[in-house]
Structure 1
Amino acid sequence: MSNARRIDTPAHIVPPFYEEWLATKNVNAGGLPIPTWRVESTLDFMEANGIETSIMAVSTPGVEPGDRDAAARSRCAS
Protein backbone atom coordinates (compact mmCIF):
# COMPACT_ATOMS: atom_id res chain seq x y z
CA MET A 1 0.00 0.00 0.00
CA SER A 2 1.23 3.50 -0.74
CA ASN A 3 1.87 6.11 1.90
CA ALA A 4 -1.02 8.22 0.59
CA ARG A 5 -3.14 9.74 3.32
CA ARG A 6 -6.73 9.73 2.09
CA ILE A 7 -9.42 12.03 3.44
CA ASP A 8 -13.11 11.38 2.81
CA THR A 9 -14.97 14.68 2.62
CA PRO A 10 -17.81 15.05 3.03
CA ALA A 11 -18.61 11.70 4.64
CA HIS A 12 -22.40 11.85 4.70
CA ILE A 13 -23.98 10.56 7.90
CA VAL A 14 -27.39 10.28 9.53
CA PRO A 15 -26.85 9.51 13.24
CA PRO A 16 -29.29 6.87 14.57
CA PHE A 17 -31.06 9.31 16.92
CA TYR A 18 -31.68 11.66 13.98
CA GLU A 19 -32.81 8.82 11.71
CA GLU A 20 -35.38 7.86 14.37
CA TRP A 21 -36.56 11.46 14.76
CA LEU A 22 -36.98 11.83 10.98
CA ALA A 23 -39.07 8.64 10.94
CA THR A 24 -41.44 10.12 13.54
CA LYS A 25 -41.92 13.11 11.23
CA ASN A 26 -42.37 10.93 8.10
CA VAL A 27 -39.46 12.74 6.46
CA ASN A 28 -37.51 11.01 3.69
CA ALA A 29 -34.46 11.86 1.61
CA GLY A 30 -36.04 13.44 -1.45
CA GLY A 31 -38.37 10.49 -2.03
CA LEU A 32 -35.76 7.89 -1.02
CA PRO A 33 -35.43 6.13 2.33
CA ILE A 34 -33.19 7.78 4.92
CA PRO A 35 -29.76 6.14 4.63
CA THR A 36 -28.71 4.01 7.58
CA TRP A 37 -25.38 5.02 9.08
CA ARG A 38 -23.38 3.27 11.78
CA VAL A 39 -19.93 4.01 13.21
CA GLU A 40 -18.76 0.43 12.76
CA SER A 41 -19.59 0.26 9.05
CA THR A 42 -17.91 3.62 8.48
CA LEU A 43 -14.72 2.46 10.18
CA ASP A 44 -14.77 -0.77 8.14
CA PHE A 45 -15.20 1.25 4.92
CA MET A 46 -12.37 3.60 5.87
CA GLU A 47 -9.99 0.73 6.62
CA ALA A 48 -10.89 -1.16 3.43
CA ASN A 49 -10.24 1.94 1.33
CA GLY A 50 -7.16 3.34 3.04
CA ILE A 51 -8.99 6.39 4.38
CA GLU A 52 -7.21 7.99 7.32
CA THR A 53 -9.69 10.79 8.10
CA SER A 54 -13.38 11.44 7.46
CA ILE A 55 -14.92 14.87 7.67
CA MET A 56 -18.58 14.27 8.43
CA ALA A 57 -21.61 16.13 7.18
CA VAL A 58 -25.27 15.40 7.88
CA SER A 59 -26.81 13.74 4.84
CA THR A 60 -30.07 14.55 3.08
CA PRO A 61 -32.52 15.86 4.25
CA GLY A 62 -30.13 17.95 6.33
CA VAL A 63 -30.74 19.50 9.72
CA GLU A 64 -33.92 21.42 9.00
CA PRO A 65 -36.46 19.15 7.29
CA GLY A 66 -39.12 21.77 6.69
CA ASP A 67 -39.94 23.00 10.21
CA ARG A 68 -37.74 25.95 11.16
CA ASP A 69 -39.39 26.45 14.55
CA ALA A 70 -38.83 22.80 15.54
CA ALA A 71 -35.21 22.97 14.32
CA ALA A 72 -34.61 26.11 16.39
CA ARG A 73 -36.15 24.52 19.48
CA SER A 74 -34.00 21.40 19.12
CA ARG A 75 -30.83 23.51 18.83
CA CYS A 76 -31.76 25.48 21.95
CA ALA A 77 -32.54 22.31 23.91
CA SER A 78 -29.11 20.81 23.27
Structure 2
Amino acid sequence: MLSHNPEDDSKLYVGDTETTDEELAALLTEMKHVHLPLLEDYGFIDWDEGNHEVTKGPKFDDIRPLLEMMARHRDELPEDWI
Protein backbone atom coordinates (compact mmCIF):
# COMPACT_ATOMS: atom_id res chain seq x y z
CA MET A 1 0.00 0.00 0.00
CA LEU A 2 2.51 2.65 1.09
CA SER A 3 5.26 1.23 -1.07
CA HIS A 4 3.14 1.15 -4.23
CA ASN A 5 4.41 3.72 -6.70
CA PRO A 6 1.73 4.68 -9.22
CA GLU A 7 4.46 5.91 -11.55
CA ASP A 8 5.38 2.24 -12.04
CA ASP A 9 2.20 1.44 -13.95
CA SER A 10 -0.63 3.05 -15.81
CA LYS A 11 -3.51 1.17 -14.17
CA LEU A 12 -5.47 1.89 -11.03
CA TYR A 13 -4.13 -0.20 -8.16
CA VAL A 14 -7.01 -1.74 -6.20
CA GLY A 15 -5.03 -4.26 -4.19
CA ASP A 16 -5.45 -7.99 -4.29
CA THR A 17 -9.24 -7.99 -4.58
CA GLU A 18 -11.42 -9.28 -7.39
CA THR A 19 -13.29 -6.34 -8.94
CA THR A 20 -16.09 -6.41 -11.51
CA ASP A 21 -16.27 -3.80 -14.25
CA GLU A 22 -19.26 -2.19 -12.51
CA GLU A 23 -17.44 -2.06 -9.17
CA LEU A 24 -14.36 -0.56 -10.82
CA ALA A 25 -16.46 2.08 -12.59
CA ALA A 26 -18.17 2.98 -9.29
CA LEU A 27 -14.79 3.15 -7.53
CA LEU A 28 -13.36 5.45 -10.20
CA THR A 29 -16.38 7.74 -9.99
CA GLU A 30 -16.19 7.85 -6.20
CA MET A 31 -12.45 8.54 -6.28
CA LYS A 32 -12.84 11.38 -8.79
CA HIS A 33 -15.83 13.09 -7.19
CA VAL A 34 -15.36 12.40 -3.48
CA HIS A 35 -12.08 10.96 -2.20
CA LEU A 36 -9.43 12.68 -4.30
CA PRO A 37 -10.92 16.19 -3.90
CA LEU A 38 -11.16 15.73 -0.12
CA LEU A 39 -7.64 14.36 0.22
CA GLU A 40 -6.38 17.29 -1.84
CA ASP A 41 -8.35 19.81 0.24
CA TYR A 42 -6.69 18.44 3.39
CA GLY A 43 -3.25 18.66 1.75
CA PHE A 44 -2.58 14.91 1.95
CA ILE A 45 -2.23 14.61 -1.84
CA ASP A 46 -1.65 16.82 -4.86
CA TRP A 47 -4.03 15.84 -7.65
CA ASP A 48 -3.49 16.85 -11.26
CA GLU A 49 -6.81 15.74 -12.68
CA GLY A 50 -5.90 16.78 -16.23
CA ASN A 51 -2.82 14.54 -16.31
CA HIS A 52 -4.36 11.81 -14.10
CA GLU A 53 -1.54 12.14 -11.55
CA VAL A 54 -1.67 11.91 -7.78
CA THR A 55 1.38 12.63 -5.66
CA LYS A 56 2.02 13.09 -1.96
CA GLY A 57 0.87 16.47 -0.73
CA PRO A 58 2.50 18.81 1.79
CA LYS A 59 0.65 17.20 4.74
CA PHE A 60 1.09 13.55 3.68
CA ASP A 61 3.52 12.87 6.53
CA ASP A 62 0.76 13.84 8.98
CA ILE A 63 -1.18 10.69 8.00
CA ARG A 64 1.77 8.38 7.25
CA PRO A 65 1.78 6.83 10.78
CA LEU A 66 -1.90 5.96 10.46
CA LEU A 67 -1.42 4.42 7.02
CA GLU A 68 1.59 2.42 8.23
CA MET A 69 -0.37 1.13 11.25
CA MET A 70 -3.27 0.12 9.01
CA ALA A 71 -0.86 -1.68 6.67
CA ARG A 72 0.78 -3.56 9.58
CA HIS A 73 -2.59 -4.63 11.01
CA ARG A 74 -4.55 -5.12 7.80
CA ASP A 75 -5.49 -8.70 8.77
CA GLU A 76 -7.12 -7.42 11.97
CA LEU A 77 -9.18 -4.64 10.37
CA PRO A 78 -12.59 -4.94 8.75
CA GLU A 79 -12.31 -5.73 5.03
CA ASP A 80 -13.97 -2.48 3.95
CA TRP A 81 -11.35 -0.38 5.79
CA ILE A 82 -8.52 -1.27 3.44
TM-score, normalization by structure 2: 0.29
Larger Rg: 1
TM-score normalised according to structure 1 size: 0.30
Higher RCO (CA < 8 A, seq sep 6+): 1
Higher strand proportion (structure 1 or 2): 1
